[in-house]
Structure 1
Amino acid sequence: MTRTRTRTFRPRSATAVALALAGGLVLAACGSGGTGGSGGSAGTAGTSTHTMDTAMGRVKVPDHPRRVVVLDTAELDSAITLGVRPVGSTHADVKSGFLDYLPRDKVAGIKDVGAMLSPDLEAIAALKPDLILTSKIRHGDKYQQLSAIAPTVMTESTGYPWKANFQVHADALGRQAEARKVVAAYTAHTKQVVAALGGPAKAAATDVDTVRFVEGADIRIYGRKNYIGTILTDLGVGRPAVVDKAKDGFSYDVSPERIDLANADVLFHATYGDPAKAKETQTTSSGLWKNLTAVKNGKSFAVDDQLWFQGIGYTAAGKILDELRADLAR
């Protein structure tokens, strides 16, 4: 990450914000300038800054931002993990708003700025942030509007590169030292889980599969190049051959009639949306499902979709490792 120290960071003016959002948005709540309210802002003149290389080019950000807005679940996990409470965040497509696995006291007071795929730009601007975190794959089309509100740091994608993205988030937040401690703790945690499973050889001899039932889509047998796949790789557990058929390494999608391809020693499955519409009900009541090795041996475990597939960060990973240890060591 290229970092160039500079000085005199100045917030975006209300005029710049209005120009960027012209096309229908009226920023009535922007006030006169981008400095913070009574709580102060790291975006005041004279605050030191550094320049980062991002998916959208070089961006100057404050060294210690105080009013951060995050626009996806991975960025929210990163901020909370690093001890930063954002002033605003989008919500996931869940009833609870922010994902349930996040500590309630850590997300209390965070302003909801809309759905993840359609953030409310007026609400974001009204918070007068000095930093916005998201990814190009989610909000690249809104970069100009967002960067007119505040310095916007985008990673290229989400999911599989979550560890590299975390380092970008830490750099943007000025929390590199905290990030090193988080990574070290995660590494130690994985070693503890492997030891609990009987060591590397025994872990590698156990084939583990992950299946996600998704409303409006086929059933996903997850490959190696996704968030949960990286955690399983870190543990060194075995994976069934089907995962190597995954498109771009992400997932191999099947109908209920092909669920036998998910056969493994241990199976973890989650559901996004209505179980009936996601074909979970149909699939798990079928003979093919009941004949899977993991199901017959009592090694099939239903897990929380929010935690295993939507969280995407070190706080989620720590909880997933605890569940893997409990279930795989049975």
Structure 2
Amino acid sequence: MPLHSIPPRRAILRLLLAAGFGLLLSACDAPAPNAVGPAANAATGQWPRTLDTPKGPLTLQRPPLRIVSTSVTLTGTLLAIQAPVVASGGSAANSKVTDSQGFFTQWGEVAKQRGVQPLYQGEPSAEAIIAAQPDLIVMAGTGGDSALKLYEQLSQLAPTLVVNYDDKSWQELALLLGRASGREADAQAVIAGFDAEVARVKARLKLPPQPTAAMVYYENGSGANLWTPESAQGKLLQALGFTLATAPDSVKGNTSQGVRRDIVQLSGEKFAEGLRGNSIMLFNAEPAMVPRVLANPFLADNAAVRGKQVFAAGFDTFRLDYYSSRNLLARLARQFQ
């Protein structure tokens, strides 16, 4: 009988048994402890260790060797800190921000080089996650790539770390994931290198008129998602010396994406009222989008539009990780030199 016709519990049981048998066989053939490979050798710190998570304390007995990321947003940070991620969920393939595997373009080639397997595109699959034989599952607590509905099911089969990324920079995520994977030294090193790059770029920037509204503009021109100071995008701009324009309280009730704290949704009559600032930075957009924003009749009285102070940050800035953040630094250095 095909897998898709098996009742879910029976399918999970079969995959769990198969995964357990596979792990048993691999354990029989495992190399000696001093030849286990770079991921295990590089893991540091005291084990077991306990992490505070949105689902309560999570105790990890040993450094993971097979991390499965159910969040395409978090996978880039795992790759940046050299964590042993073996498989990842993906988004829709071949979009303006993803490659043929549904991975983000900024790190898709890195994932291929390291043999990261694509699990699914879009809707999370418990069967695919379990079949990857994880010893740690990483899951987003918010956002469109959250697999939180599978938490109760998956957490019974492997340690499952839930991470909220809507109020964290990629550096904060790197430290958290570094602790979970034993890659603290790698996380600290990549952050230090990036922070030094931020300082160099900041020293050379000639900023546009401030404050700046950072947003994702809707394709149909009816509104935008405005990044908040808590967002990764907002935090990076502020680190570079930008002053972030925020929405007035009168429109803040018009939010979406559940309990996310990184955006305020502006649409309809709230669009023009909520969009403040003397410059606009368009995330998830290329320069071709700028003329469309300037021509939007709803924004005719906006100060940034009147002054033609509208700029594009690039498609890959929809989700900021180490890789897309470095790309953004390079673009800003060219635009505002």
Could you tell me the TM-score, scaled by structure 1's length?
0.73
| 8 Å contact kept, 2:290–2:311 | no
| 8 Å contact kept, 2:313–2:328 | no
Distance in 1, matches of 2:23 and 2:294, equals 53
Of the three residues 100, 119, 125, the one matched with 1:113 is 119
One-letter code aligned to 2:224: I
SS in 2 for 1:160: coil
Residues 136-155 of structure 1: pairs in structure 2 closer than 5 A: 136-137=141-142, 138-155=146-163
Residue 159 (1) aligns with residue 166 (2) = yes
How many pairs align? 292
Residues 173-322 of structure 1: pairs in structure 2 closer than 5 A: 173-197=181-205, 203=207, 206-214=210-218, 218-240=223-245, 242=247, 246=252, 250-255=263-268, 258-259=271-272, 262=275, 264-270=277-283, 285-289=295-299, 292-295=302-305, 299-305=309-315, 307-310=316-319, 312-322=320-330
Of the three residues 30, 49, 56, the one matched with 2:19 is 30
The residue number in structure 2 matching 1:6 is: none
Distance in 1, matches of 2:208 and 2:306, equals 21
* Residues 62, 318 of structure 1: alpha-carbon distance in 2 compared, 3 angstrom cutoff: farther
Residues 13-28 of structure 1: pairs in structure 2 closer than 5 A: 22=9, 25=12, 27-28=14-15
**What is the CA-CA distance between 1:52 and the residue it aligns to?**
1.9
Structure 1, residues 266-308: CA drift from partner, whole Å, max 9, x if none? 3222459xx9xxx999755334546655455554223334x21
| 8 Å contact kept, 1:133–1:152 | yes
| 8 Å contact kept, 1:243–1:252 | no
Give the RMSD, CA atoms, in angstroms.
3.6
Structure 1, residues 146-194: CA drift from partner, whole Å, max 9, x if none? 2233221122x21322443322211111100111112212221221122
The residue number in structure 1 matching 2:50 is: 52
Residue 132 (1) aligns with residue 137 (2) = yes
What is the percentage of aligned positions where both structures have the same residue? Answer: 19
| 8 Å contact kept, 1:270–1:303 | yes
Residues 83-122 of structure 1: pairs in structure 2 closer than 5 A: 83-84=82-83, 86-95=85-94, 96=99, 97-108=102-113, 109-116=115-122, 118-122=123-127
* Residues 206, 280 of structure 1: alpha-carbon distance in 2 compared, 3 angstrom cutoff: closer
Could you tell me the TM-score, scaled by structure 2's length?
0.72
> Relative to structure 2, which stretch is displaced further, 239-248 or 56-65?
239-248
* Residues 303, 232 of structure 1: alpha-carbon distance in 2 compared, 3 angstrom cutoff: closer
**What is the CA-CA distance between 1:145 and the residue it aligns to?**
1.8
Distance in 2, matches of 1:161 and 1:309, equals 15
Unaligned runs of 5+ in 2: 1-7, 41-45, 254-260
* Residues 261, 36 of structure 1: alpha-carbon distance in 2 compared, 3 angstrom cutoff: farther
| 8 Å contact kept, 2:139–2:162 | yes
Distance in 2, matches of 1:39 and 1:288, equals 64
**What is the CA-CA distance between 1:78 and the residue it aligns to?**
1.4
| 8 Å contact kept, 2:214–2:244 | no
**What is the CA-CA distance between 1:70 and the residue it aligns to?**
0.6
**What is the CA-CA distance between 1:92 and the residue it aligns to?**
2.0
SS in 2 for 1:224: coil
**What is the CA-CA distance between 1:31 and the residue it aligns to?**
5.2
Structure 1, residues 31-79: CA drift from partner, whole Å, max 9, x if none? 5264574787899xxxx94222232233333543221111113320111
| 8 Å contact kept, 2:218–2:224 | yes
SS in 2 for 1:242: coil
| 8 Å contact kept, 2:213–2:226 | yes
